[in-house]
Amino acid sequence: MISKMEKRRTVKPTCLLWTMWLCCIAAHAQPVTKIATGPGSWHSLFLKADGSLWGMGYNPFGQLGDGTTNNVNQPENILAADVAAFSAGKHTLILKSNGSLWVTGLNTSGQLGIGTFSPYTNNGITLPQQSVADSVIAVSAGLSHSLFIKADGSLWGMGHNAYGQLGDGTYNSSNLPRQIVASNVTAIAAGGDHSLFLKADGSLWAMGWNGYGQLGNGTFSNTNQPQRILSSNVTAIAAGYQHSAFIKNDGSLWSMGCNRYGQLGGGPLTTNYPYGTNQPQQIVSSNVTAIAAGYIHSLFLKNDGSLWGMGYGGLFGDGTTNVVNHPEQTLPNGVIAIAAGFEHSLFLKRDGSLWSTGANEYGQLGDGTFGTPPTYGTYQPEQVLGPYNRIRGQLLTEGRMQLSFVGIAGINYALDRSLGLTSPNWLPQATNPANSFGALAFTNTPAATTNNFWRIRLAE
């Protein structure tokens, strides 16, 4: 399928005015490459290809890091460059490309790891502040606690620990990072008040609140130390507000915990306490590549790029407010990344466009509005940012024209030419891959005495 592309007209290849104008409008052409929100989050974050971090939504504790406590209903720039990863709770964790960890937002339980506890009256920290100087490689923000992995595979945590979610053998909250596991940790997921992590051998571990069986250990008892749930074959994890999900190496999807709204995607709705199941149950047998768990909904991707959801329907974009206790397809293809918030969802398409759905009372969808009753948002996916793929032209010697483009790193793009836009006859010219920054260039010699129209599209 041909993606929506920005088409520009060359009156003649010697038209330098056209070239310069096109360069100007392309100067900030950067696609979205990563997204994040979380089961305890009413704000949204995304990263552009230039390493800049952007956010929108709930901000009374400074979690957007913009120096204010004002909610924002359109994307605003938080950091200009050098961001590698990030995660959202009622606070925000930001991993820079040099391995340093930066934090902003609510700090009542010490979840920022800066050595203090901030009362609600102080609204937390409103500008990013460094918490760890180096060696951090992954971060995950829960409702009121934080996890991170260092380059040596060690697992660290800070913040709220009343249910043992830090896994340090106590129920005491900490305002400084504590080491939980010494080595071999490869992935982390911080939920409402529980935590999951993977080791290098594919084993799944859990700790914290287990009132709905979200740890999957066969009990409804909390634990303040890591407990092994499965010994091998787990490749991806997601911790929701009161439920959990994981993928095995055969592409199967499994879930456990609260199922009051069908968020597990399998089995009957549980309307009586403990509202769920305390052991992993298989939901999909194969082809699942990514998962995300929110408050009362879950998302997953299949290897064909299709987007699926379960739980409260409008939160994953099925156009209804129905409770769905089985996987339901929202989009048939083209999706490459997903994120589930408290009551909203984000997803990223292959062309770099950003989409959102669900509740929007704080502006978390980023569409320029604040949701109002009775819907408070939208039940269907809406595009927040376009593909950011404008063509840039540069005149070379001997009548040649170079067309530059910013796309998605590693993706193949094709250049087509037509001599007119009335019943255009698009003729393929070349196919090039985008580099590690998403940039690529085509060089072509157009007909000097004829108008030329160009388009760049995803290669078939």
Domain chopping of the chain, boundaries: 8-28+390-458, 32-385
Q: Which residues of 125-147 are buried (b: 16+ CB within 10 A; e: fewer)?
A: bbebbebbeeebbbbbbbbbbbb
Q: DSSP 3-state assignment of 121?
A: helix
Supply 346's token pair. 């984000």
> What does the pLDDT read at residue 28?
39
Which stretches of the chain score pLDDT less than 50? 1-29
- Token pair, residue 297, equals 């909904």
pLDDT at 15: 28
**Whole-angstrom distance, CA of residue 208 vs CA of residue 193:** 6
Length of the chain (residues): 460
Rg (CA), the chain: 23
Alpha helices in 272-377 (DSSP H): 313-316
Residue 405 to residues 8, 20, 457, Cα–Cα distance (Å): 12, 15, 10
> Burial, 421: exposed, middle or buried (Cβ in 10 Å; 0-12, 13-18, 19+)?
exposed
CA distance 209 to 108: 19
**DSSP code of 2?**
P
Cα–chain-centroid distance for residue 121? 30
- Quickly name the fold that domain 8-28+390-458 has: Immunoglobulin-like (2.60.40)
Question: What gap in Å lies between CA 80 and CA 341, rounded to an integer?
Answer: 24
The CATH-assigned architecture of domain 32-385 is 7 Propeller (2.130)
Q: What is the pLDDT of residue 18?
A: 27
